[in-house]
Amino acid sequence: MLTIFLQAQPQGSSSMMLIMMGVMFVGFYFLMIRPQMRKQKQEKSFQETLKVGTRVVLTSGLHGRIAQVQDDGFVIETLSGKLKFEKAAVSREFTEARFGDKAKAADKTAEKKEIDTEKK
Domains of the chain and CATH, by start: 21-112 (2.30.30.100)
State which of 13-22, 25-34, 106-115 shows the largest mean pLDDT.
25-34
Q: pTM of the full predicted structure?
A: 0.53
Q: Does residue 35 have a pLDDT over 70?
A: yes
First-to-last alpha carbon distance for the chain, in angstroms, is: 99
Sheet architecture: strand order including 55-58: 81-86, 73-78, 63-69, 55-58, 90-93
Average pLDDT over every residue of 36-62: 87
**Type of residue at 113:** K
Please state, in angstroms and rounded to a whole number, the distance separating the CA atoms of residues 41 and 78: 28
Please give the pLDDT value at position 117: 55
**pLDDT, mean of residues 95-115:** 57
Confidence of residue 32 (pLDDT cuts 50, 70, 90): very high
d(CA 83, CA 66): 10
